[in-house]
């Protein structure tokens, strides 16, 4: 009996083992927003009426974000036994500078992908300010904007803040570098697997998304903060879909974009119907992005190491004893 309990409970740390902690937050992360949507979705849609579908989408996405944040506070405090800040929210001037850098990096890399495709004749601009009929563009664009914010925060909380940190703790019987690298790899594989059911997905696109999980995780393992990956994730998705008109991980975001485009060119390079994330241009952009993240962290801190992340490892006194 004692041996069985040791599989789920770490007596020395006085908390559940890392794998169990990850699974519990995964359940809260998925079930909480789904339950909220089930309970309130019809009421929200009826409240705004048939003409307010865009507002309904915004309200429901914001409710999803609140549910995820509540689940994160619950999981960090009661399951991880640490303050939520240790997942990567030690707010400071540097935190917000990293956030802005991540946003600039995501927008710049996606803009470069578009520029290369346009120069090669693989993408054609067919119009501007594209939105469904009878919907003002400035109203329509709010829905994908809010969605991009919600997705970036929610997915970074799950894949980096919770999974990568907890898995690194679980592998602490290894050296720090090995523990972080293994956790980084596993969390990236999970990130890719979460997108298997996306429209137009394939084994190739899933493999690419494992790489993008590592790309997004680079800033986290080097800074110990979620600022850079949240900023990068947000603009990478928003610029990709709602500015440049590309599919985002196989999905068109509300059929709204500043630039309306038609894509041709070889799928091997462009990603085809899945979007740039399944093409070699996206892979090259991601590799350049990782190099720029390393350079940025070196310029900001003077050192490249995993010790910033290690400082967040727990359990911490901020949790519930």
Please give the average per-residue pLDDT across 192-208, as a whole number. 92
Question: What percent of the chain stands above pLDDT 70?
Answer: 96
User: In the beta sheet, which residues pair with residue 248?
Assistant: 251
Q: What is the pLDDT of residue 229?
A: 98
In the structure, what pLDDT confidence band is assigned to residue 2 with cuts at 50, 70 and 90? low
Q: What is the pLDDT of residue 3?
A: 64
Q: Crossing angle, helix 203-223 and helix 93-119, to 10 degrees?
A: 150
Task: Please enumerate in sequence order all residues whose Cβ is within 8 A of that of 316, keeping only pairs 6 or more positions apart, or say none.
Answer: 81, 82, 83, 86
What Cα–Cα distance (Å) separates residue 59 from each residue in 64, 96, 195, 252?
A: 9, 26, 24, 20
Q: What is the pLDDT of residue 116?
A: 97
In the structure, what pLDDT confidence band is assigned to residue 319 with cuts at 50, 70 and 90? very low
What Cα–Cα distance (Å) separates residue 104 from each residue in 221, 239, 258?
A: 19, 11, 18
Could you give the dihedral angle defined by the CA atoms of residues 55, 58, 62 and 64, in that order, rounded to the nearest 10 degrees? 110
**pLDDT, tens only, 24-69:** 999 999 998 888 888 887 777 777 766 567 788 888 899 999 999 9
Please give the average per-residue pLDDT across 154-173, as a whole number. 96
Neighbours of 184 (CB within 10 A): 23
Q: Residue 15 carries which DSSP code?
A: E
Please give the average per-residue pLDDT across 188-216, as a whole number. 94
Residue 314 has pLDDT above 70, yes or no: yes
Select from 296, 288, 269, 302 the least CA-distant residue to 123.
269
Residue 320 has pLDDT above 60, yes or no: no
Q: What is the pLDDT of residue 321?
A: 28
Q: What is the pTM of this model?
A: 0.93
Q: What is the pLDDT of residue 11?
A: 86
Please give the average per-residue pLDDT across 243-265, as a whole number. 87
């Amino acid at each position: 009996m004692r041996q069985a309990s040791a599989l789920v409970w770490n007596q020395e740390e006085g908390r559940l083992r890392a794998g169990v902690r990850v699974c519990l937050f995964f359940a809260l992360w998925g079930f909480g927003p789904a339950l909220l949507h089930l309970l309130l979705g019809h009421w929200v849609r009826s409240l705004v009426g048939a003409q307010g579908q865009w507002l309904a989408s915004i309200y429901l996405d914001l409710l999803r974000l609140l549910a995820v944040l509540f689940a994160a506070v619950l999981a960090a405090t009661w399951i991880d036994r640490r303050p939520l800040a240790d997942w990567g929210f030690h707010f400071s001037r540097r935190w917000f500078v990293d956030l802005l850098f991540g946003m600039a990096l995501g927008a710049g890399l996606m803009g470069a992908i578009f520029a290369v495709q346009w120069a090669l004749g693989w993408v054609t601009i067919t119009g501007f300010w594209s939105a469904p009929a009878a919907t003002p563009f400035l109203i329509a664009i709010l829905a994908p904007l809010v969605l991009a914010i919600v997705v970036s925060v929610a997915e970074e909380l799950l894949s980096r803040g919770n999974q990568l940190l907890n898995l690194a703790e679980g592998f602490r019987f290894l050296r720090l570098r090995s523990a972080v690298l293994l956790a980084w790899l596993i969390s990236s594989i999970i990130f890719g697997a979460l997108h298997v059911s996306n429209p137009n997905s394939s084994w190739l696109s899933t493999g690419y998304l494992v790489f993008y999980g590592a790309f997004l995780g680079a800033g986290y393992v080097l800074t110990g903060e979620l600022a850079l990956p949240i900023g990068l994730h947000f603009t990478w998705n928003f610029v990709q879909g709602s500015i440049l008109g590309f599919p985002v991980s196989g999905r068109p975001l509300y059929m709204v974009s500043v630039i309306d485009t038609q894509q041709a060119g070889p799928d091997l390079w462009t990603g085809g119907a899945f979007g740039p994330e399944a093409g070699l241009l996206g892979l090259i952009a991601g590799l350049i992005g990782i190099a720029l993240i390393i350079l940025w962290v070196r310029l900001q801190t003077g050192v490249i190491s995993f010790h910033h992340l290690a400082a967040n490892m727990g359990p911490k006194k901020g949790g519930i004893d």
